[in-house]
Amino acid sequence: MITVEEDLRFLPDTIRAVLGQTVLPGVIVVIDCTGRTDRPLASSFTVEPAHAHGAQGRRADTVSVRLVGVKGARSFSDAVAKGMRRVDLDPGTKALWTLHDDSRPAHETCLETLLERWRYTPTASLLGAKQVDWGGGNLHDVGTYAGRHRLESLVVDGEPDQEQYDGRRDVFAVSLAGALVPLATLDSLGGVDPWFGTFAESGDFCRRICLSGGRVVVVPEAEIAHRRARYEGVRSRSGEPIDEDAPASAAMAVLEARQRYYYTDIRMGWWPLLWVLRLLRAVVMALSRLSRKQPYVALCELLMPWRALAMFPTAVRARRIVGRQSKVPLSRLSVLVASRQQIARWRDRMQAFRDQQGSVVLDPLAKAHLRRRLLRRWICAAAAAVLALAVVLATYWDVCRAALSGGSLTGASMLPTDAGFLRLLEAATTSWTLGAGTGAVAPPTPWLLVLAAASVLTLGNVAAATVLVFVSSAPLGVLSFWALAGVFTRSDAVRVTCALLWFSLSFAFGLYGSANLAMLTVMTFLPAAFAFAFRAVGMYHTEEPVRPHHSVQAAALSALCFIPVVAAEPQLLLPLVATFLAFLLFVRRHRATLLLIPLPSALVLAPTLVNAVHHAPEGAWRQLFGDVAVPTSETNGVPAALGLADLAARAFGVDVGSGWLSWLRAPQVVSFLVLAMLAVLTVLAVVSLFLPFALRVSRMMWVTTVCGGILCLASARIVVGVDADGAVAGSVLPGMAMALLGVLSCVCLVAGGAIRRFVALRRPAARPGDEEDVDVRSTVVAVARALLVVLLAAAACLWAGYGIAGRGDGRPGVADGGLPMVAVDYLEQSPDHRILALSAESGSRISYASMSTGRGDVIEVSTAQRAQVASGQRPASDEAIASAASRLLANADSQAVADIAALGFGGIYVVADGGSENAVSQLMANITASNGTQSVVSNASGTYFRLTLVDTLTQGVDLNGQQAVSASPWRYAWLWCAGIVTALYCIVALPRTHRYNQEEA
């Protein structure tokens, strides 16, 4: 009985093998499960015996061939049973030889051997054959033994057949493919139960045979070459053929089959308890699968308990059948049970076999070549990273040295910080901002999570963490772009110079000069994230003997690298999503891997996204375009409709007027050269679109560039905040960084693959002319590449020099001042203590700040708050403080002091170097003259007044709002979800230790 479905790839070989048997079956029935055959067809042929040596004359026999169609067969045995009913079998038929359409007898004596064995063991209830793979050399299984409610084959799937298992006779179960099934067995046991599905029905049938006293015998001499199309994923569930190069995973069906066998092997009374235990086990198994980089199987494991719930009603019936037919307990069948030692030994052998499988076997010459390349590559990369670190340290040595003595990094774009680690964590995870009046509800700034992670590295010192981010962004940025360049080209020189060019871009953008730590985070992690994404889908160059392959581990690493990028600049989430959708179009395979990459980033950003959408009519969507850097109209500009060229000039700090091609009239020679170099690199990137060997990748990176450019255009038009002069546009630096990432990647593509050909042994050229042609061409390519390297190096020097010397921006500084010690002590006593800082700039202008730490803190920055101010909403406490400060600047006003004390402030600090000396002394005189203040300490940087109106013990701002937000279930849900997902991704991303593999960076 041969069953066949839509897939007809293997049927011809099977039928040929069946017809080539030395002993032919009397009736060959082909069961068409597609349902297209309405009426059974019959045919027959006569077999003339060949003149066999020494054989008696055999008479000619007829073999009839029937083709029947069945509909709705749930499994192999169901199809066979239905086919049997439709075909009227000869009453003399004693046994069925059941075959899948992809299981062919491996040699011509297969049936003869089976029949012979049956004659010699008449008590056998079922005879199975040895299962080998389609090529005939490797084993699948030779009968299975019973384990703990499962079947153990004790044969390593795929090991070569050296007749090592040919001694087996009685086993617990055999596969029904190629098995000889006596009809008496079928009748006595009521047939095979199709409920178990094709993967487990043979196991259940054999279990019932053995437990009811029968014998299951395996005949190792009879070999069946079984393709196992469904099991190996080359056939879909509905029978459609699947391309052999991209097999689907049958994990779900296999796990389901095993589960069904397991539950029906146990008494029904135990099922509830076992279900709970297996639920826990499912979680553990899922984690283990994740660590083995098999996320789909992990998902299947998680779903198994729920499918078990769904199947319980029907499992009851199957269990009853098993129970009814079990007469012999398993303990009496110890020969058929696999012992623990056997299973352990089998596991070891399987592990060793798997270890052997994954590695590419290389000869010593290839290994030496790879090792040399590895050393050379990593030395170049390390040298570049050290160079970058040295440049940063040399340029900002005084800042680094001063920062080591306890101050915090600060710059034109960056507020200093004086917070402790716990305060930082609280600010990073609570939807409460401290910078607006006495506090307001606003989603936490995502970049603070990055700072918290850096603070873990500096053992909780937040101020040192800012310096760490500043300094380490140099070597890490170089290494990450070096990794990305390695995806496109293997030439060490091009990779290193491109990485240094990317590093010099940080200088040219003025990121180091203004201590823009958020953008430095982006410049560090964005190339690495893209590099890992390319590795995840297997679209990258490697060294010669090694082949690229897709990797779920790289996908997880890419997802983790995107978290700091999106946390630092939330506006990058939008073009990244668009780029990923475009990537899905361009990538050939493994698309599903790409879809999981944005998930952790979106989760980490969840409060910001939810707030932006929830309050979108009030303009809260603007917070997506802000970041932790201070927005000023000098650096970011006023919202205006500008072209990309103008925005590029703005990003590089070149002041050009407006108008078409105005960037050609840059004021200084250096600025003009900087922009000209950018234009040259863009032209090179356009050239990369023409390269025939990089069609897909060049378009993918150009899509990145275009998306980054569109983000620039959008960001320059959007208001992110208001400063003293008016509205401030969003920063164009993130979009420009993304666009330049694409441009530089395309420039790397122009360098070509540059893979060092690995030649094991030099062979003389076939013809002398060949060698010359090849030489000329390779010389031209090498010269062109060298020119490119020179151009890139010159660009890197130009941009770095411009950034360090020519840009004219400020330098970062170290803030080690702040409130006097008395004031800081007061603030640290309780989390609800606040001090109001005032700075009188002139007789009619005053600035105020609500201090919760000793310096104007970066943890109090909130982009949502800035968007609210731009939309005209201010918290009531903010207005009250502004009014009181104005009144105090004009006159001595006791009511103003009382208002300030009523808000919960414990002191007022007047900054001495605010602006106008007259105004400052006037303000101090006014405060002194008002009731309720007492001057505590006065030094060169300011004067601290204590407010005496409210008792010190009860002083403090109202923390109810903050506590309500802090205890909110949404916050816990977000933290737990983000934490768990990130931990899962980390598990997938962890490197595995005991696999020695040759995949290279």
Partner 1 sequence: MSADEPRKSLPRARGRAWRVVLGLISMLVIVAVFAAALFLRPFASLVDRAAVGSSAVTNEVSTEQLQAYCPSRMDLVDTEAYGDSEFQVSTGNVASSARYAAFGSVYRAQVSPLGPDYATDSETLADQEDGDVLTLAGDVDDGARVMDTRLLASENGTGSAASVVSWATEGDIQGLSASTCVVPSLEHAFLLTDTQSGVTQQLIVANPTDRATAITIQAWGTADGERLALSTGNTMTVDAYGEASVDLGAAASGQDGVYVTLSSDETPVAAVVRTVRMDGLTARGSDYALPVDAASRGAMLPGVREGDETAVEVFGESDGDVTVYWVGEDGLTQAAQGTVSANRVAVFDLQTAPEGVRGVFVDASTPVAAGARIQRSGGDGQADFALVRAAEPAASSAVVLPDGVDGELTLMNDSSASARVTLHAYDADGVEVDERTVTLDARSAQSLAVADLEGEARMLTLDDEDAAVGWGVRLSHPDVDDAGLAGIAYLGATALTPVRETVSARNDQSIVR
- Dihedral angle computed from the Cα positions of residues 838, 839, 845 and 851, in that order, rounded to the nearest 10 degrees: -40
> Which of 80, 505, 846, 989 is the binder for partner 1 (CB under 8 A)?
846
Strand (E) or helix (H) holding 127: strand 124-132
Determine the 3-state secondary structure of 791 from DSSP: helix
* Footprint of partner 1 on 652-681 (CB under 8 A): 660
Q: Name the residue nearer to partner 1 (CB basis): 663 or 974.
A: 663
Q: Name the residue nearer to partner 1 (CB basis): 691 or 981.
A: 691
Using CB under 8 A as the binding rule, whether residue 861 contacts partner 1 is answered as yes
* Footprint of partner 1 on 923-952 (CB under 8 A): 942
* Footprint of partner 1 on 616-635 (CB under 8 A): 619, 622, 630
Contact 218, 130 (CB under 8 A): yes
> Which of 274, 710, 975, 990 is the binder for partner 1 (CB under 8 A)?
710
Q: Name the residue nearer to partner 1 (CB basis): 607 or 942.
A: 942
Work out how close the CB of 724 gets to partner 1 at its nearest, in angstroms, rounded to a whole number: 6
Q: Name the residue nearer to partner 1 (CB basis): 722 or 986.
A: 722
Contact mark string toward partner 1, 824..843, x via CB under 8 A: -------------x-x-xxx
Q: Name the residue nearer to partner 1 (CB basis): 289 or 887.
A: 887
| Choices 38-46, 249-257, 363-371, 640-648 (CB under 8 A): range interacting with partner 1 | 640-648
DSSP state, residue 993: S
* Footprint of partner 1 on 878-907 (CB under 8 A): 878-879, 881-883, 885-887, 889-891
Work out how close the CB of 583 gets to partner 1 at its nearest, in angstroms, rounded to a whole number: 14
> Which of 918, 931, 934, 997 is the binder for partner 1 (CB under 8 A)?
918
Q: Name the residue nearer to partner 1 (CB basis): 131 or 623.
A: 623
Work out how close the CB of 466 gets to partner 1 at its nearest, in angstroms, rounded to a whole number: 13
Contact 567, 449 (CB under 8 A): yes
Work out how close the CB of 435 gets to partner 1 at its nearest, in angstroms, rounded to a whole number: 6
Give the residue among 856, 795, 836, 818 at the shortest CA–CA distance from 945.
Answer: 836
> Which of 242, 343, 599, 686 is the binder for partner 1 (CB under 8 A)?
686
Using CB under 8 A as the binding rule, whether residue 324 contacts partner 1 is answered as no
| Choices 55-63, 111-119, 767-775, 916-924 (CB under 8 A): range interacting with partner 1 | 916-924
Using CB under 8 A as the binding rule, whether residue 417 contacts partner 1 is answered as no
Could you give the count of Cα atoms lying within 13 Å of 961 in the half-sphere of its Cβ?
14
Work out how close the CB of 416 gets to partner 1 at its nearest, in angstroms, rounded to a whole number: 6
> Which of 723, 828, 999, 1000 is the binder for partner 1 (CB under 8 A)?
723
* Footprint of partner 1 on 801-820 (CB under 8 A): 815, 817-819
Using CB under 8 A as the binding rule, whether residue 583 contacts partner 1 is answered as no
What's the rounded Cα separation, in Å, for the pair 519 and 532? 20
What's the rounded Cα separation, in Å, for the pair 517 and 412? 11
> Which of 645, 936, 965, 990 is the binder for partner 1 (CB under 8 A)?
645
* Footprint of partner 1 on 751-770 (CB under 8 A): 753
Determine the 3-state secondary structure of 908 from DSSP: strand
* Footprint of partner 1 on 533-552 (CB under 8 A): 538-542, 547-548
What's the rounded Cα separation, in Å, for the pair 681 and 799? 13
Contact mark string toward partner 1, 73..92, x via CB under 8 A: --------------------
Q: What is the 3-state secondary structure (H, E, C) of 926-963?
A: HHHHCCCEEEEEEECCEEEEEECCCCHHHCCCCCHHHH
Determine the 3-state secondary structure of 104 from DSSP: strand
Q: What's the chain's length in residues? A: 1001
| CA dihedral over 443, 446, 449, 451, signed as positive or negative | negative
What's the rounded Cα separation, in Å, for the pair 627 and 612? 14
Which distant-in-sequence residues (6+ apart) come within 8 Å of 889 by Cβ?
A: 840, 843, 844, 846, 919, 922, 923, 926
- Token pair of 622, please? 């603007």
Q: Name the residue nearer to partner 1 (CB basis): 15 or 741.
A: 741
Strand (E) or helix (H) holding 273: helix 271-291
* Footprint of partner 1 on 174-193 (CB under 8 A): none
Using CB under 8 A as the binding rule, whether residue 494 contacts partner 1 is answered as no
Using CB under 8 A as the binding rule, whether residue 690 contacts partner 1 is answered as yes
- Token pair of 224, please? 């069946």
Q: What is the 3-state secondary structure (H, E, C) of 552-569?
A: HHHHHHHHHHHHHHHHHC
Using CB under 8 A as the binding rule, whether residue 689 contacts partner 1 is answered as yes
Q: Name the residue nearer to partner 1 (CB basis): 182 or 735.
A: 735
**Pairing between β-strand 2-4 and β-strand 95-100 as defined by DSSP bridges:** parallel
Q: Give the type of residue at 705.
A: T
How many residues at the interface with partner 1, by CB under 8 A? 98
> Which of 109, 288, 472, 847 is the binder for partner 1 (CB under 8 A)?
847
Q: Name the residue nearer to partner 1 (CB basis): 105 or 752.
A: 752
* Footprint of partner 1 on 948-987 (CB under 8 A): none
* Footprint of partner 1 on 208-247 (CB under 8 A): none
Centre a 10 Å sphere on the Cβ of residue 323 and count the other Cβ atoms it contains. 12
Q: Strands of 698-833 (E only): list them.
A: 719-723, 726-729, 813-815
Determine the 3-state secondary structure of 441 from DSSP: strand
> Which of 28, 392, 718, 736 is the binder for partner 1 (CB under 8 A)?
718
Question: What distance, in Å, lies between the first and last C-alpha atoms of the chain?
Answer: 53
Could you give the count of Cα atoms lying within 13 Å of 160 in the half-sphere of its Cβ?
2
Work out how close the CB of 861 gets to partner 1 at its nearest, in angstroms, rounded to a whole number: 7
Work out how close the CB of 716 gets to partner 1 at its nearest, in angstroms, rounded to a whole number: 9
- Token pair of 15, please? 């039928």
